[in-house]
Structure 1
């Protein structure tokens, strides 16, 4: 190990070591300082976008507007027919609200809906699809939190371990994207298979209320999932671009300058360091 000197970057100074002993300290050139700053900025942007994605997933998980329905009640008399259209039902993964217009004022007629006793225990909705959507969403949030944590780490240092570095950021964001997509997909299947035609329970149908497919739609809580997926995609692209900028080589000599070159694992002094010796960017 004594035949080469690893180089580390610490607050824009180059530190050279031999056998764990500091041998030399000198400032980086302007180009390398600019490159380190740009990489940090890109990774910190991924951290901010990751925070937004967690916020969107959490807001979607906890709000009651995955489904919004506008039932009607048709009352037929010998001389005329009356249609009452002021009813509304909305619910999320756990609970919601319903206001049914029976022909009188709807004021004070809003009641809470609990999804499990109303739809799951009665088997109106497919239990397996509902539960799988929730579990996958929780897993997606866990991966998103891990992604944000490592994005913050990478905005401060250049980790030695590959999975703690940009390769890990690719993986955590990809897993968050995949699990969010699967959760959304299963809930979409649940919507078209069960929810769209069964948002009303039997008692409400017998009272004359109707809510066909056109009156039952996805709410904004559902569409927040697509916003989170977009954040994960943007993060993956941003990380790729940050690495692409840092890995550009001088077209004349194949290196950044006469002293250093970069690859996806770190920065090396090409004259005195072995390529496999990873360097930390602090």
Structure 2
């Protein structure tokens, strides 16, 4: 059976891994990644399209000067995109977050296994926890980078606005605000770092104790040697 210290440390890491798993589920399930106001102009009026969307769906509404508002519409992100680049990037972000979810699940399993047993010398031990937490954090960071790239380089909001209202013509300006579904991915990274730190302190303490127990006899006190 594992020691109380080992159980407590790995149980703490298990808790952070489970929290990371839950947050990734929230990120995938909620559709508040981006709020955008996309402005268009034509010969008769100026039109502003207000968008709030995530990876799968969103809402849009049209505001026409001087204050005429069209009712809010719900749309599917994939259906509103004709651009291969923008659609491919959204798909890549979803796949990466699913991989992050699986990594977090495996990390939770490894920390739970270590909390109730002693797989010190195998990949099921601290090395496995380091690996899966690192992969989860890396995947999350990649998703956080790809989404703004899709917004700026592939003009995601503008294309979604055109998908909602195809008659819009000249794009003049866009304003973007990242929502909580995007920013809580930072929490995933911090939780993975916390898991790694917890296991590192345990592993380092165990290694130091093992080295002390293996000290050569010449380092022993002289009175012990004389005896």
TM value normalised by structure 2? 0.79
Q: Which stretches in structure 1 are left out of the alignment for 5+ residues? A: 1-9, 12-35, 258-282
With over 3 angstroms needed to count, the CA separation of the structure-2 counterparts of 1:66 and 1:45, relative to structure 1, is same
In the other structure, the counterpart of 2:62 is 100
Bigger radius of gyration: 1
- Residue 243 in structure 1 maps to residue 203 in structure 2: yes
Deviation at 1:227, TM superposition (A): 1.3
Shift of 1:128: 2.5
What residue is the counterpart of 1:163 in the other structure?
123
Task: Determine if contact 1:39/1:243 at 8 Å carries over to the other structure.
Answer: no
Alignment of 1:183-262 (within 5 A): 183-194=143-154, 195=156, 197-201=158-162, 204=165, 206-207=167-168, 212-213=173-174, 215-249=175-209, 254-255=212-213
Kindly state the Cα deviation for residue 57 of structure 1 after the two structures are TM-superposed.
0.8
CA, structure 1 residues 202+177, in 2 after alignment: closer, same or farther (shift >3 Å)? Answer: closer
For residue 9 of structure 2, the aligned residue among 10, 18, 42 is: 42
Quick one: distance in 2 between partners of 1:203 and 1:168? Answer: 46
Q: Deviation per CA, 1:45-100: give whole Å up to 9, x if none.
A: 111111111111111111111111134577998xxx9x787x63111111111122
User: Contact 1:50–1:144 (CA<8 Å) still a contact in 2?
Assistant: yes
1:165-222 CA distance string (max 9 Å, x none): 1111111111111222222222222122122554421774755896734x12222111
Distance in 1, Cα, partners of 2:36 & 2:123: 45
SS of residue in 1 equivalent to 2:161: coil
Check 1:204–1:140 CA distance in 2 against 1; reply closer, same or farther (3 A cut).
Answer: same
| Alpha-carbon separation, structure 2, partners of 1:72 and 1:159 | 59
Greater RCO structure (CA 8 Å; 6+ sep): 2
Could you tell me which residue of structure 1 aligns to residue 94 of structure 2?
Answer: 134
| Cα contact 1:73–1:209 (8 A) shared by 2 | yes
Q: Following TM superposition, where does structure 1 have runs of at least 4 consecutive aligned residues deviating by more than 3 angstroms?
A: 71-77, 196-199, 202-211
3-state SS of the aligned residue for 1:98? strand
- Structure with the bigger percentage of helix: 2
Root mean square deviation, CA, Å: 3.0
Paired residues of 1:124 and 1:198 also in contact (CA < 8 A):
no
The equivalent residue for 1:271 is none
Matched ranges for 1:48-59 at <5 A: 48-59=15-26
> Unaligned 5+ residue runs, structure 2?
216-227
